[in-house]
Structure 1
Amino acid sequence: MRSQLEVLNQHRLSPVSSYTNLGSGLDLASMVDPDEGHVQGSLRFSLFYDQLQSRLVVTVLDAQSLAVQDFRRSVDPFVWVRLLWAEREDKDQSSLQCVLHEWQTRLVKKSCSPVFGDQFSCALDEEEVSRVTVKFEVRDYDKYSRYGILGEARVSLNHLKIAYPLELRHNLQRPKKDIVGEMLLSLKYMPTSQRLEVGVLKIRTVSYPTTTERAIYAKASVICNQCKLRHQRTAQKKRWDMTVFNEVLTFLLPDPQIRECSIIITVYALHPAQKSSKRLIGQIHLEKGSTSENEHWKLMMQSLRQPIAKWHFIQI
């Protein structure tokens, strides 16, 4: 007879294969955050750390009273689960994180109080448990449009007693991004030739000690009126804690577009020896209206023909 953990492992989605499932292959910009004050409902889940087998078991049980978005009468919810590992146990604002594993539950159609009952497990050293945060993101599936985010729940495993299964219910909160790296970017716009140059200079990331990924690259996309106009990517580089690229990606943009467009820099990790091994690390969104990114854009437009370099957080 198969053990319970063997059954659980059948439900596990690897970090690579999960990106072919619901909502996984999309850019973060294609996700719709809920409106202010429109998050409601709760999520019930359980956590268990098997000390004998050094495995963490996460069970997504059910959700209640989810919000209905837009003009729809119901929602088609599923839950995206991330295990975030911090580079330091004493997490602070400057502490970077990385995604250890990602899973998704099954889709439950037309239900504001869905029952999931999906279990996932992964190997995890006991000394690393305190650095892990489990993030549950409740998403609304839409076949023809962008997925909506109904809210999130997260729990840090630091000082949490999960030697026995611990069942919790958390109220959903507005989703927030997590910092998974930093990138040194340069921007230069030349109005005469209508050319925008995006320089990917350095990328700093952290990775779990046993990670097998060996390469990293970045892709820059130009978005205007929510439509992707064009994109370019850097070459693959061997992944280090600080990976140096020093590459310039060039885009031809007329004056009206440069004043209305936004730039999305997406960072991927991969294992060159495997096919379909691309895994999203995180993104930077350069657009008007955001504080730090908007400052960089303003400096570029005030210093035409001069490259302006600035560090940005990579978020997921």
Structure 2
Amino acid sequence: MVTLTDFPAPMEPFSAAWELRMPFPEIVKYLMLAISITLLLLALGMLAWQTYRCCTHSHTRYTQQDTVNNNLMYSVENSSTAGNYSGILSTKMIAANAEACRLSRCFSLASFPSSASSQSDGEMGEKAGTSRKVDGSLRFSVFFDQQQAKLVVTVLQAEGLFQDTRRQSLQPFVKIRLLVAKSAVNMEEFDYDEREATPPVLWTVLQEWKTRVVKGSCNPLFGDQFTCILWEEEDLLHHINLRMEVRDYDKYSRHTVLGEVRVPLRRLHSSYPLELQETLQTPQKDLVGKLLLSLKFLPTSQRLEVGLLKIRTVLTQSCSNEALYARITIQCNQSKLPYQKTYAVPRCSLTVFNEVLIFSLPESPMEQCKVLVYVYKTHTSKKSAKHLIGQSIVGKDKSLEDEHWSLMMRSVRQPVAKWHSLLV
């Protein structure tokens, strides 16, 4: 006979195991559950808030862009309502002007006006002041001591100099050159054009000086005095021009020429101290020689071969122990290639180099390319600082192309030689 009985004993281990898994009172269990639910709700709320902000921000941004575009289009169509958006337009105009100023400073090296000022030691990036108004005057004194054959030049003061609004303050100084005209020069050797009414005057730099830099003044006081002994010829004084350039100093040697003063000493009775005040004029260049340059373009390898063949200058007594060398650089499409130098050759009336320098040009089309040749002098007997004799520029611009450059492009892979003026 089968009997049905209860089995309470097996249930006891299960309850014991449950008690082992949750050894907490009921109040603690419900409290933990409430905290978990609260944290979950808080996280869900934060997620919903961030989603709402993201959606509303995107909608507001697109709405503002559409509104600005509609307003700008409406301001173009109806000029009478342009005042409502003057703030936006003025901001864009200021930004455009700032960008234009930045680009003009970056591209200042690529512009070479015909009347640009000369460049001296280390002044490879000197800027000319011919594209703006020239203001101011220069006060100086000149005296020639006939007994000692000594010329004394004293720079006193510059007045009313032009203040560029893009710069905080001026730092003016004066560079002085004594230029001697040599009348006994055969101009046929310098490729003189007979169609010109008068042959060009060939100059040579006899002496050059610099005054001290006066910071932060449009009316600087200098008071610097310079002397030079003139023993060569009795009438040498009548062939000397005094050229004084007022420049704005730049720590990167890109000095801006503010104006210049030229005084022929033959017109002055300088046997006693004579004080003058002259108005600054637009800087001009002087012919100091000729150089024979060869150009050869290789389109396949995109190379340009620049050959410096000869340099013809006027010799003086002080040029006996001098040597010449050239520094050549190329600016192509607003980029400046590394310069190269020739060897130093002892100076004579016709200095022969016959040296070719090779430059690799960028592959992009050459809209603008210029070859800049700077000729320096140095002493062979002793170590001395270099001095710039003159410079010459050959090449093409967007609107103007040099004749030598045109001949080179028509005679590809063939060297083309031509004389060029050496200016200072």
Q: Using the alignment, how far apart are the partners of 1:148 and 1:102 within structure 2?
A: 18
Shifted more, 86-95 versus 226-235: the winner is 86-95
Q: Deviations over 1:243-266 (max 9, x none)?
A: 122221111213427543321111
Confirm or deny: 8 A CA contact 1:138 1:151 kept in the other structure: yes
Alignment partner, residue 84 of structure 1: 179
Alignment partner, residue 193 of structure 1: 301
TM-score, length basis structure 1: 0.85
Q: Using the alignment, how far apart are the partners of 1:190 and 1:50 within structure 2?
A: 59
Percent pairwise identity: 50
Q: Deviations over 1:48-84 (max 9, x none)?
A: 0001111000000101100012512431100001111
Change (3 A) 1:152 1:225: farther
1:60 aligns with 2:155: yes
Change (3 A) 1:61 1:89: farther
CA RMSD of aligned residues (A): 2.4
Aligned residues between the structures:
293
Q: Provide the secondary structure at the position in 1 that maps to 2:337.
A: strand
Alignment partner, residue 25 of structure 1: 121
Q: Deviations over 1:105-163 (max 9, x none)?
A: 11111111111111100101342111111110000012257211100001111242100
Q: Deviations over 1:231-251 (max 9, x none)?
A: 222222221111122221111
Shifted more, 70-79 versus 177-186: the winner is 70-79
Alignment partner, residue 51 of structure 2: none
Q: Provide the secondary structure at the position in 1 that maps to 2:404.
A: helix
Q: Deviations over 1:24-66 (max 9, x none)?
A: 5224x51111243510100011110001111000000101100
Change (3 A) 1:128 1:293: farther
Q: Using the alignment, how far apart are the partners of 1:290 and 1:239 within structure 2?
A: 37
Q: Provide the secondary structure at the position in 1 that maps to 2:163.
A: coil
Q: Provide the secondary structure at the position in 1 that maps to 2:235.
A: helix
Pairing of 1:229-240 with structure 2 (within 5 A): 229-240=337-348
Q: Provide the secondary structure at the position in 2 that maps to 1:246.
A: strand
Q: 1:46 aligns with which of 137, 141, 152?
A: 141
Q: Which amino acid aligns with 1:36?
A: S
Q: Using the alignment, how far apart are the partners of 2:164 and 2:312 within structure 1?
A: 37
Q: Deviations over 1:204-251 (max 9, x none)?
A: 001222334332122211224665322222222221111122221111
Confirm or deny: 8 A CA contact 2:320 2:347 kept in the other structure: no
Q: Using the alignment, how far apart are the partners of 1:292 and 1:279 within structure 2?
A: 31
Change (3 A) 1:207 1:227: farther
Shifted more, 296-305 versus 211-220: the winner is 211-220
Q: Using the alignment, how far apart are the partners of 2:312 and 2:401 within structure 1?
A: 18
Alignment partner, residue 162 of structure 1: 270
Q: Provide the secondary structure at the position in 1 that maps to 2:300.
A: coil
Q: Which amino acid aligns with 1:242?
A: L
Q: Using the alignment, how far apart are the partners of 1:226 and 1:243 within structure 2?
A: 32
Q: Using the alignment, how far apart are the partners of 1:251 and 1:137 within structure 2?
A: 34
Q: Using the alignment, how far apart are the partners of 2:309 and 2:401 within structure 1?
A: 16
Q: Using the alignment, how far apart are the partners of 1:57 and 1:89 within structure 2?
A: 27
Alignment partner, residue 101 of structure 1: 207
Instruction: Name the structure, 1 or 2, with higher relative contact order (CA <8 Å, separation 6+).
Output: 1
TM-score, length basis structure 2: 0.64
Q: 2:315 aligns with which of 199, 202, 207?
A: 207
Alignment partner, residue 11 of structure 1: none
Alignment partner, residue 111 of structure 1: 217
Confirm or deny: 8 A CA contact 1:191 1:255 kept in the other structure: no
1:94, distance to aligned residue in structure 2 (A): 2.5
Pairing of 1:227-266 with structure 2 (within 5 A): 227-256=335-364, 258-266=366-374
Alignment partner, residue 220 of structure 1: 328
Alignment partner, residue 308 of structure 1: 416
Pairing of 1:100-139 with structure 2 (within 5 A): 100-125=206-231, 126-139=234-247
1:176 aligns with 2:299: no
Confirm or deny: 8 A CA contact 1:222 1:264 kept in the other structure: yes
Q: Provide the secondary structure at the position in 1 that maps to 2:406.
A: helix
Shifted more, 174-183 versus 222-231: the winner is 222-231
Confirm or deny: 8 A CA contact 1:265 1:285 kept in the other structure: yes
The structure with the greater share of residues assigned to helix is 2
Confirm or deny: 8 A CA contact 2:315 2:348 kept in the other structure: no
Q: Using the alignment, how far apart are the partners of 1:130 and 1:305 within structure 2?
A: 49
Q: Provide the secondary structure at the position in 1 that maps to 2:317.
A: coil
Higher alpha-carbon Rg: 2
Q: Provide the secondary structure at the position in 2 that maps to 1:158.
A: helix
